[in-house]
């Protein structure tokens, strides 16, 4: 990605902090400071999430619904980066478009009025984007709050957002006694070859059609997923019914995360079963095979994320595999008015 000229941005009603200024993302040179702020923010909220530099670079180099040079806003005090804000949009399964914003404030700079100024600025940016689109249904603004961040929750509530969803971060604390249930006749589970990833993507896209929110099925989204530094096909397990992929789990090992957090932990995420193969134990068996593979690579624990209102009672399934909730994240919406207030 080429580096753009530095473009400083005026943010109305910014707090009176000496040397406070705002600019857009310019290129890879910004990424180390961005990941430092993002990881400090989620760690302060007791979230197990972690964003390695390599992964952030990959996201910015393969944007889907955002222009990083327009939609990534960086907040500085002097030369120190203290906040990162991102806007994007996503078509939801419910037939509407979600205009989304994410914000990360370095913990030392919280409670200074940065979020109060940045939220309406990012809403205005999303309104500008939404005006370019045809709207099949009334659009909504969406944002997320980590469980213990009372300040962020108060901010979104004060600005008219309503809680719509709660997600759990779940951790399996060890790799003992891994459950692998028996398979129905005619079903086989194995890891994938790289040339099978497109088939896996198609199966996953179909399975997530009836889940809350959206799942980008575009070619660009597939290419970003398949080329991600998180991708290791030997850790992606699928349940095959003949030539069809009926269910699957993506296992992930992120060495940078493990080094930074001081553990040996893998991810089992995403997890899916296509509709006509549900209630047959296929996702459970895929989870078991993935956990064994992670254990064989030296992992001593595992983690995943889940929507607590998942229509297929995924929370109960994961508890059977000894995953325990360690943190929550909430999703908040409000109607997006396309005219200025």
Model confidence over 256-287: pLDDT tens digits?
999 999 999 999 999 999 999 999 999 999 99
The ranges assigned to domains in the chain are 8-168+330-335, 174-321
Q: What is the pLDDT of residues 294-303, one digit of tens each?
A: 999 999 999 9
What is the reported pLDDT for 340? 63
CB 239 within 8 A of CB 286: yes
What is the reported pLDDT for 308? 82
Architecture of 8-168+330-335 per CATH?
A: 3-Layer(aba) Sandwich (3.40)
Span 238-257, average pLDDT: 97
CB 252 within 8 A of CB 235: yes
Supply the Cα-derived Rg of the chain in whole angstroms: 21
What is the reported pLDDT for 301? 98
- Check for a shared fold between 8-168+330-335 and 174-321: yes
Other Cβ atoms closer than 10 A to 174:
12
What class does CATH assign to 174-321? alpha beta
Spatial CA neighbour of 170 closest among 267, 310, 75, 313: 267
Q: Say if residue 131's pLDDT is above 80.
A: yes
What is the reported pLDDT for 316? 93
The better pLDDT of the pair 109, 48 is held by: 109
Identify any residues that bridge with 302 across adjacent strands, giving them in sequence order. Answer: 172, 266
What is the reported pLDDT for 1? 41
Q: Say if residue 3's pLDDT is above 60.
A: no
Distance CA 180, CA 285 (A): 5
Give the confidence band of 133 by pLDDT, cuts at 50, 70, 90.
very high
End-to-end, the C-alpha distance of the chain in Å comes to 36
Residue 209 DSSP one-character state: G
Q: Say if residue 305's pLDDT is above 70.
A: yes
Q: Say if residue 77's pLDDT is above 60.
A: yes
CB 165 within 8 A of CB 331: yes
Span 207-230, average pLDDT: 89
Q: What is the pLDDT of residues 165-182, one digit of tens each?
A: 999 999 999 999 999 999
Token pair for 311: 């229509």
Q: What is the pLDDT of residues 316-327, one digit of tens each?
A: 999 999 999 999
Token pair for 186: 């005619």
């Amino acid at each position: 990605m080429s580096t753009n000229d530095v473009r400083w941005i005026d943010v109305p009603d910014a707090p009176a902090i000496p040397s406070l200024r705002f600019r857009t993302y310019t290129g890879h040179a910004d990424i180390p400071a961005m990941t430092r702020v993002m990881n400090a923010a989620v760690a302060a909220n007791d979230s197990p999430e972690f964003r390695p530099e390599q992964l952030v670079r990959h996201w910015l180099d393969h944007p889907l619904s955002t222009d990083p040079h327009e939609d990534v806003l960086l907040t500085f005090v002097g030369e120190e980066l203290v906040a990162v804000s991102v806007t994007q949009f996503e078509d939801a399964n419910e037939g509407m478009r979600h205009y989304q914003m994410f914000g990360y404030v370095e913990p030392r700079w919280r409670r200074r009025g940065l979020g109060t100024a940045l939220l309406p600025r990012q809403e205005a940016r999303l309104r500008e984007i939404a005006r370019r689109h045809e709207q099949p249904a009334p659009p909504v603004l969406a944002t997320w709050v980590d469980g213990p961040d009372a300040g962020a929750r108060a901010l979104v509530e004060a600005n008219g957002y309503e809680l719509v969803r709660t997600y759990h971060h779940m951790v399996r604390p060890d790799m003992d006694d891994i459950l692998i249930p028996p398979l129905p006749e005619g079903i086989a589970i194995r890891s994938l070859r790289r040339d099978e990833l497109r088939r896996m993507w198609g199966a996953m896209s179909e399975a997530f059609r009836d889940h809350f929110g959206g799942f980008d099925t575009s070619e660009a989204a597939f290419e970003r997923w398949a080329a991600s530094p998180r991708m290791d096909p030997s850790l992606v397990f699928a349940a095959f019914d003949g030539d069809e992929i009926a269910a699957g789990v993506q296992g992930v090992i992120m060495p940078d995360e493990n080094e930074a957090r001081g553990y040996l932990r893998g991810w089992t995420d995403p997890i899916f079963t296509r509709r006509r193969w549900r209630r047959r134990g296929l996702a459970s068996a895929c989870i078991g095979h993935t956990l064994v593979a992670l254990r064989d690579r030296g992992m001593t624990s595992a983690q995943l994320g889940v929507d607590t209102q998942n229509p297929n009672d995924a929370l109960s399934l994961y508890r059977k595999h000894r995953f325990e909730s360690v943190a929550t994240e909430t999703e908040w919406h409000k109607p997006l008015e396309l005219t200025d207030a």
